Structure 1
Amino acid sequence: MYAVIRVRGNVQLKQESRDTMKMLNLTRCNHLSLIEETEKNKGMIKKVQDYVTWGIISLDTLEYLLEKRSRLIGDKRLALEYLKKNKINSFKELAEQANKDKKVLAKLGVKPVFRLNPPSKGYEREGIKKNFKVGGALGFRAEKINALILRMA
């Protein structure tokens, strides 16, 4: 499962890319969305790659993200008591189920977007206009997305 984080805003963003961002539930900067690894989703990410960063999220990071930043509809925190009512014993179990099938979160009523803070100590040295491969913040990060999420959560 991919974690996609919007890094840049709407200024000079083409309408086609804005629509793609909306489909990915990335309406504002520092929003994170969990996306399944399908060809269709990879194509949408490629279309907006100059405005987002993405990578493969680990189970530990997903568990931490669900515990700290997930919200229910009505802007309520996702609590352990709520999970137990829905026959899920822990956030770890929820993370494992969500990693297999993202629809588990929708059935629980969890919002599809995670609102994060800007990363502590900032983005990489070259800023938010260059690709991750050359020292910037944009593009594919593989496993290094987990460190960024922990700095933002």
Structure 2
Amino acid sequence: MVVPHTIAKKRDRNEKLRLALIKARVLKRREVTLKRRGFIKRTARYYKEYENKKKELIRLDRQAKKEGNFFVKPEHKVAFVVRIRGINKIDPKSRTILKLLRLHQIHNGVFIKVNKATMNMVRRVEPYVTYGYLSLKTVRDLIYKRGHVKFNGQRIRIQDNDVIENKLGRYGIRCIEDLIHEIYTCGRNFKRANNFLWPFKLSSPRGGYVKKGIHFQEGGDYGNREEMLSQFVARMN
């Protein structure tokens, strides 16, 4: 049976398209596999870096004790601030500072770089916030469970690494572990990574508050909790 020229031509075209699609799928699968392997290697390198840093601090502490000295830990570079009070009886300057810190609502939380300017702002609004320093585990849990990013002006949940790579890939931040590392270690692209993160929307802490109007050092809730903030954020996550 003779096949008309137009039908044969159409069959050839469809076959070429089918083969091209299969080839594209294979190449895409291979690219995803290689990229995933790269992410796994980077994650392992980060964990090794964290572990080595932890061991070094322990070594220096033991050495100082052995020599009869005191070991002072390095100052924290990143703090986490959580808003715990609403807008009632808030003065205009404090309201402006809370907006600059992106703490628009109660139970919003943001990372900030620790320097003179930011800490002066936080101390100015201290009665409305609690702040301190998070452990690596808490930072990871926070970003994995509550992490949303700003993409085209919208709040997008972090469901895959593509959304991170599309926005921050040019700065070497291609996956969620890169993002966590940049935030936790206060890397040179901390500002870009932090601005990419949408302010965290946390829940009311399990077990409730003690007394919002009293400083944490006096048995209340607001103010600086230092390393104890991780326990508080874990109750809100």
Which TM bucket (shorter chain)? Answer: 0.7 to 0.9
More helix by share: 2
More strand by share: 1
Which segment drifts farther, 96-105 or 29-38?
Answer: 96-105
CA separation of 1:62 and 1:104: change in aligned 2, threshold 3 A = farther
| Structure 1: tracts of 5 or more residues without a match | none
Matched residue SS, 1:50: helix
Matched residue SS, 1:133: helix
Counterpart contact for 2:161–2:176, Cα < 8 Å: no
Aligned length, in residue pairs:
149
CA distance in 2, matches of 1:57, 1:130: 22
Per-residue displacement from partner, 1:13-32 (whole Å, max 9, x unpaired)? 00011001011111111000
Residue 77 (str. 1) matches residue 157 (str. 2): yes
Matched residue SS, 1:140: strand
Counterpart contact for 1:63–1:94, Cα < 8 Å: no
CA distance in 2, matches of 1:53, 1:32: 10
Counterpart contact for 1:4–1:34, Cα < 8 Å: yes
CA distance in 1, matches of 2:101, 2:143: 18
Q: CA deviation at 1:34?
A: 0.6
Which segment drifts farther, 13-22 or 56-65?
Answer: 56-65
Structure exhibiting the larger radius of gyration computed from Cα positions:
2
CA distance in 2, matches of 1:116, 1:89: 26
| Structure 2: tracts of 5 or more residues without a match | 1-77
Question: What is the TM-score when the length of structure 1 is the normalising length?
Answer: 0.87
Runs of 4+ in 1 over 3 A off after TM superposition: 83-93
Counterpart contact for 2:131–2:229, Cα < 8 Å: yes
Matched residue SS, 1:80: coil
- The one of the two structures with greater contact order (alpha-carbon pairs below 8 A, sep at least 6) is 1
**Residues 22-41 of structure 1: matches in 2 within 5 Å?**
22-41=99-118
What amino acid maps onto 1:148 in structure 2?
Answer: F
What amino acid maps onto 2:193 in structure 1?
Answer: L
